[in-house]
Amino acid sequence: MKPFESLRKLFGSIGSGVAPGGDGGGAISCDEAKTRLFEYLDGELGPISHEEVERHLERCRACYPRFQFERHFLDALQAAEERGTASPELKDRILKVLAEESANDSS
């Protein structure tokens, strides 16, 4: 859901120095792009707004580091969490409690 992949692709292609085409209306300023930055990264913008930010990023090298910065930050948070799991003991305990509860209900 979160558009990290599309960002990655985007900035992957920017290295070549050629920004993908598409000009004209709907251009937004750096200020507007930054205002929508988190919502963009969170996949919370509507399709039109999302595309405006994306198009801005295609052209604006000034905004690129800021977006990368936030992406690295969010990636780090997500990576930190992946390992936490409930212990097998806890799972057993809960299943036991539920089994007792349903036995009580049906008696």
61 near other proteins, judged by CB under 8 A = no
Binder of other proteins out of 21, 55, 75, 92 (CB under 8 A): 75
CA angle 38/73/26 to nearest 5° reads 30
Task: Tell me how far apart the alpha carbons of residues 63 and 19 are, in angstroms, rounded to a whole number.
Answer: 14
Span near other proteins by CB under 8 A; candidates 18-26, 51-59, 67-75 = 67-75
| Choice between 27 and 90, CB closer to other proteins | 90
14 near other proteins, judged by CB under 8 A = no
5 near other proteins, judged by CB under 8 A = no
102 near other proteins, judged by CB under 8 A = yes
Task: Tell me how far apart the alpha carbons of residues 18 and 5 are, in angstroms, rounded to a whole number.
Answer: 19
Instruction: Please tell me the chain's helix, strand, coil percentages from 3-state DSSP, rounded to the nearest 5.
Output: 65, 0, 35
